[in-house]
Chains A and B, each alone.
Chain A
Amino acid sequence: QSVLTQPPSASGTPGQRVTISCSGSSSNIGSKFVFWYQQLPGTAPKVLMYNNNQRPSGVPDRFSGSKSGTSASLAISGLRSEDEADYYCAAWDDSLSGWMFGGGTKLTVL
Chain B
Amino acid sequence: EVQLVESGGGLVQPGGSLRLSCAASGFTFSTYDMHWVRQATGKGLEWVSGIGSGGDTYYLGSVKGRFTISRENAKNSLFLQMNSLRVGDTAVYFCARGDSPTGFDPWGQGTLVTVSS
Contacts and interface: CB of A to CB of B under 8 A. Distances in A.
Do A and B form a real pair?
Answer: yes
A39 B110 CA distance: 13
Interface in A56-110: 56, 86, 88, 90, 96-104
Contact of B104 (A2, A47, A98, A104): A47
Which 10 pairs between the two chains have the least Cβ-Cβ distance?
A99-B47, A104-B44, A44-B107, A35-B103, A101-B45, A47-B105, A50-B102, A103-B44, A50-B103, A47-B103
Nearest to B98: A99
A45 interface: yes
Interface in B1-54: 35, 37, 44-47, 50
A104 B106 CA distance: 19
A31 interface: no
B60 A35 contact: no
B49 to A, nearest CB: 9
B109 interface: yes
Interface of A: 2, 33, 35, 37, 39, 44-47, 50-51, 54, 56, 86, 88, 90, 96-104
Contacts of A35: 103-104
A51 B15 CA distance: 40
Contact of A98 (B44, B59, B94, B110): B59
Contacts of A44: 94, 106-110
Interface string B43-81: 011110010000000111100000000000000000000
A102 B109 CA distance: 21
Contact of A45 (B101, B102, B107): B107
Nearest to B50: A99
Q: Which of A45, A96, A97, A101 has the most CB of B within 10 A?
A: A45
Contacts of A33: 101
Given A44-B110, A98-B58, A98-B60, A56 B44 contact: no
16 contacts: A2-B44, A35-B103, A39-B45, A44-B106, A44-B109, A46-B107, A47-B104, A50-B103, A54-B101, A56-B102, A90-B47, A98-B50, A99-B35, A101-B45, A102-B44, A104-B45
